[in-house]
A and B are shown apart, each in its own frame.
Chain A
């Protein structure tokens, strides 16, 4: 019984290595087409537009809601110590380094990441990518790369938008409903958020998450089976794998970015 188990382990391992190699080549091709002509700016812009617009409403709504919850919760806790004046700091700090980028990435995964995977997978099923190959057009460069790059560029913007909406949500609850002074709220927010530690850290996270979701969504779509089951597997696979990757890499970045 031992030998087959070891054999299976070996097979699993080589399979995994092969898979990782495939992803590495895939990422390399995305990089190459970003730096090497022909540059497909118009396709990139239209993908940025699609990804951004797709996620705009959900990001604003979720941001405001999360901010409101933080405002409520923060106020209740802080008022026990008579420190309601720090509400802005509590809302801002929990948002900028953790909740902002992570929740944005999870929401964008569900909204735009799954859509990208489904679109590419259905292009595989309907031979649209083969159609491009027959016109001597590389689908990596024409379809995959613009979508993955758009994700990297859009994620920090959406993350910033999420932050702004959440600060607004916290303001409405803390200042308008619970009576914290508006000036105090904003000053405490402004004084507690550092540029290098917080804003840059937040950007690094957003860009990393964007790259992860962009690569995972396009890879799952591109390598899907040419069937409708393949399309649905690519879609759910993208959401599951991206979500786990976002949370894991969030821990790693937090640990590395000097706590």
Chain B
């Protein structure tokens, strides 16, 4: 599975089986992520979105099946060989995963210091520019604990893209952000994709922004994937997809109703 309707896949999961903590998370999961596009992975909480990214990153090895990046199977290679593969991959973790013993500047500049021989000024320029791009100019001297969760996550994104990797994995980049920053990060991702041709794989349960930028949707249900162009997936008659979409549409309204219903009781 490397071709699909003439599209070339950069990343392919093929028949992946995975059991974690006694729970079968994936059974024969197969899906592909096209080169130079933004793919969004959707699914309820616990559906395995983060785990898909960890599989692609080689942080989690599957029990069966293969994970291929640009044709190379990474499931049976050594940790050293994975380090070479990962030079092409940037990852934003769900919690940011910044080193909390270092400042934001030191965190974001770490990949450059480790793997490039850029001068001190060039590093400072590049880091400053990435921090600006994620809307965090002038935060370089702060420590992660001095920033809010959403700000730490944006700094994590700056770190993920600072080396201009070919593939960027983003775990829930929008959760906990205010609407302005949702727009900002969304625009940044689209720009990275358009201008640099970066392949982005983004997990989200923020449907609206997903639909605006996604070139491909991958829906995780029951350890399998329903994938394709957004229009196709949304038109899917699969009851579980329909259920998710309905819930997304009704969710905030239903919650609001429940809250106002509970209010009089709370007031009394």
The digit string for A115-149, where 1 denotes a CB below 8 A from any CB of B, is 00000000100111011111111100000000000
- Asked if A128 and B99 sit within 8 Å, CB to CB, the answer is yes
Chain B residues with CB below 8 A from A134, complex form: 57, 59, 86, 89-91, 160
- Asked if B98 and A133 sit within 8 Å, CB to CB, the answer is no
Q: Is B176 an interface residue (CB 8 A)?
A: no
Q: Considering the chains assembled together, what is the distance between the CA atoms of A100 and B83 in angstroms?
A: 44
- In B153-172, which residues have CB < 8 Å from any A CB? 156, 159-160
Q: Considering the chains assembled together, what is the distance between the CA atoms of A102 and B164 in angstroms?
A: 52
Nearest opposing residue in chain B for A127, CB measure:
B97
Nearest opposing residue in chain A for B97, CB measure:
A131
- Asked if A128 and B97 sit within 8 Å, CB to CB, the answer is yes
Min distance, Cβ A46 to any Cβ of chain B, angstroms:
9
- Asked if B59 and A130 sit within 8 Å, CB to CB, the answer is yes
- Asked if A133 and B86 sit within 8 Å, CB to CB, the answer is yes
Chain B residues with CB below 8 A from A137, complex form: 110, 114
Min distance, Cβ B107 to any Cβ of chain A, angstroms:
9
Chain A residues with CB below 8 A from B87, complex form: 136
- Asked if A136 and B97 sit within 8 Å, CB to CB, the answer is no
Chain A residues with CB below 8 A from B54, complex form: 130
Q: Is B64 an interface residue (CB 8 A)?
A: no
- Asked if A127 and B86 sit within 8 Å, CB to CB, the answer is no
Q: Is B111 an interface residue (CB 8 A)?
A: yes
> How many A residues, CB 8 Å from partner?
13
* Complex partner residue of B114 from A123, A127, A133, A135, CB under 8 angstroms: A135
Min distance, Cβ A26 to any Cβ of chain B, angstroms:
14
Chain A residues with CB below 8 A from B59, complex form: 130, 133-134
Nearest opposing residue in chain B for A38, CB measure:
B114
Q: Considering the chains assembled together, what is the distance between the CA atoms of A91 and B111 in angstroms?
A: 53
Q: Considering the chains assembled together, what is the distance between the CA atoms of A185 and B94 in angstroms?
A: 63
The digit string for B51-93, where 1 denotes a CB below 8 A from any CB of A, is 0001001010000000000000000000100111011011101
Min distance, Cβ A189 to any Cβ of chain B, angstroms:
42
Q: Is B232 an interface residue (CB 8 A)?
A: no
Q: Is B100 an interface residue (CB 8 A)?
A: yes
- Asked if A126 and B110 sit within 8 Å, CB to CB, the answer is no
Chain A residues with CB below 8 A from B89, complex form: 134
- Asked if A135 and B111 sit within 8 Å, CB to CB, the answer is yes
Min distance, Cβ A125 to any Cβ of chain B, angstroms:
9
A130-B114 in contact given A136-B83, A136-B86 (Cβ < 8 Å): no
Chain B residues with CB below 8 A from A130, complex form: 54, 57, 59, 93, 97
A136-B114 in contact given A130-B59, A130-B93, A131-B93 (Cβ < 8 Å): yes
Chain A residues with CB below 8 A from B95, complex form: 126-127
Chain A residues with CB below 8 A from B86, complex form: 133-136
Q: Is B212 an interface residue (CB 8 A)?
A: no
- In B184-204, which residues have CB < 8 Å from any A CB? none
* Interface core residue of A127, A130, A134, A137 (most chain B CB under 10 Å): A134
Chain B residues with CB below 8 A from A133, complex form: 59, 82-83, 86
Min distance, Cβ B72 to any Cβ of chain A, angstroms:
16
- Asked if B97 and A126 sit within 8 Å, CB to CB, the answer is yes
Q: Is B23 an interface residue (CB 8 A)?
A: no
Q: Considering the chains assembled together, what is the distance between the CA atoms of A130 and B94 in angstroms?
A: 12
A131-B57 in contact given A136-B114, A137-B114 (Cβ < 8 Å): no
Q: Considering the chains assembled together, what is the distance between the CA atoms of A138 and B79 in angstroms?
A: 9
* Complex partner residue of A131 from B79, B84, B99, CB under 8 angstroms: B99
- Asked if A128 and B90 sit within 8 Å, CB to CB, the answer is no
Chain A residues with CB below 8 A from B100, complex form: 126, 128
With A128-B98, A134-B86 given, can you name 18 additional A-B contacts, CB distance below 8 Å? A126-B95, A126-B100, A127-B93, A127-B94, A128-B100, A130-B54, A130-B57, A130-B59, A131-B97, A131-B156, A133-B86, A134-B59, A134-B90, A135-B115, A136-B83, A136-B86, A136-B87, A138-B79
- Please list 17 pairs of residues, one from A and one from B, whose beta carbons are closer than 8 Å in the complex, sorted by A's number: A123-B99, A126-B97, A126-B100, A127-B95, A128-B100, A130-B59, A131-B91, A131-B93, A131-B99, A131-B156, A133-B82, A133-B83, A133-B86, A135-B114, A136-B87, A136-B111, A137-B110
